Structure 1
Amino acid sequence: MASITLGGEPATTVGELPSKNEMAPNFTLTKSDLSPVSLSDYIGHKIIMNIFPSVDTGTCAKSVRQFNEEATELENTKVLCISKDLPFAQARFCGAEGIENVDMLSDYKTGNFGRDYGLSFADSAFVTLHSRCIIVLDGNGKIIHTEQVAETADEPNYKAALEALMDA
């Protein structure tokens, strides 16, 4: 379990993020049009997984905006913004914000992604929601960078995630 904080209060996750140099576990998530999508659908592209509790919070929304902006400059890279928000909420946010360069994906159906990647909150007011994490994959699905953000209200290290792509 990772020990993190939520609003300064201690919280834990159900496990640890997968390790660097491991192959990322496959997943099936739901796109905004309610169709399923799996990690295997993205093989051949570098991937930034921007994972967060809810797009309806300020820091989460900011991270989606930031990666949407950065994605315009990234070659052969997909940015996946993953939460347990309903796909309708994700689509509403993207429409209102003009977000077009990231794939919004939801783990609302099963929560398996959060458990399999060890990043769901195990306790706190956010129990079962995703903690704020970044996972970067090379084009073959190998993990090349991870970040478990220590305080959920803080932004991830965008620069470190983007630099990891340059080395892949």
Structure 2
Amino acid sequence: MTKRTGVITMQGNPMTLVGQEVKVGDKAPDFSALTQNLKAYTLKDMGSKVKLISVVPSIDTGVCDLQTLHFNEEAAKLKDVAIVTISMDLPFALSRYCAAKNIDQLEALSDHKEASFGINYGFLIDELRLLSRGVVVIDKDNTVRYIEYVPEVTNHPNYDQALAEVQKLL
């Protein structure tokens, strides 16, 4: 298993990412996650739309909350885009969070079972078994068109750049 250092920090502490780095132009790797209803969810379930994957460490933290709320709001404006938020949170926690915050425009997914997304996209933090923060934009043909591994996990991703990349694909 590939491990990468020197890519991210969490509260200033260096962390190790597990999995190969995904780059713009790569074919989007498949993954298997769980929905809030414990159903399997893969890249195929996002259909032939433009895809935006918002990656967060834990839905119940400040930046993760704001990131999810931001993309939920944007999802309401982007009708031909499949948007998901993925974390290592349990499906039950995601369900509770989405109900409490009225998250109804995107799918919240759990990678806790297999860490399939985290490993296949290179977002899994080895020391914490959490996902690092980032955003992935994938075109209708499942080619990665934008990817951000946020260098300091406690910082926000570049929302404007990710959404500009989505707009280019519509």
The amino acid across from 1:96 in the alignment is: A
Equivalent position SS for 2:160: helix
Q: How does 1:45-56 map to 2 (within 5 A)?
A: 45-56=49-60
Specify the alignment match of 1:128 in structure 2. 129
Q: Is the 8 A contact 2:30 2:120 kept in 1?
A: no
More strand by share: 2
Specify the code of the residue in structure 2 equivalent to 1:138: D
**Cα offsets for 1:136-159 (capped at 9, x unmatched):** 001121100000001111011110
TM-score (norm 2): 0.93
Letter in 1 for 2:10: L
Residue 165 of structure 2: aligned partner: 164
Equivalent residue number for residue 155 of structure 2: 154
Q: Distance in 1 between matches of 2:78 and 2:125?
A: 31
Asked whether 1:145 is paired with 2:146, we answer yes
User: Is 1:91–2:104 an aligned residue pair?
Assistant: no
Aligned match of 1:4 in 2, 8, 12?
8
Whether the 8 Å CA contact 2:20–2:119 is kept in 1: the answer is: no
- TM normalised by structure 1 equals 0.94
- Residues in 2 aligned to 1:15 and 1:25: alpha-carbon distance in whole angstroms: 11
Q: 1:43 aligns to what? A: 47
Runs of 4+ displaced beyond 4 Å: none
Match of 2:84 in 1: 80
Q: CA deviation at 1:12?
A: 2.2
What is the CA RMSD across the aligned residues, in angstroms? 1.1
Which residue of the partner structure matches residue 25 of structure 1? Answer: 29
Tell me which amino acid in the other structure corresponds to 2:51: I
Aligned length: 165
- Provide the C-alpha distance between the structure 1 equivalents of 2:79 and 2:25, rounded to a whole number of angstroms: 22
Asked whether the equivalents of residues 139 and 145 of structure 2 are also in contact (C-alpha less than 8 Å), the reply is: yes
Q: Show structure 1 runs of 5+ residues with no match.
A: none
* Residue aligning to 2:72: 68
Q: Which among 79, 98, 111 is matched to residue 107 of structure 1?
A: 111
Partner Cα distance (1:16, 1:151) in 2: 19
Q: Distance in 1 between matches of 2:152 and 2:8?
A: 6
Percent identity between matched residues is: 35
Q: Distance in 1 between matches of 2:65 and 2:24?
A: 27
The answer for unaligned runs of 5 or more in structure 2 is: none
CA distance in 1, matches of 2:30, 2:145: 16
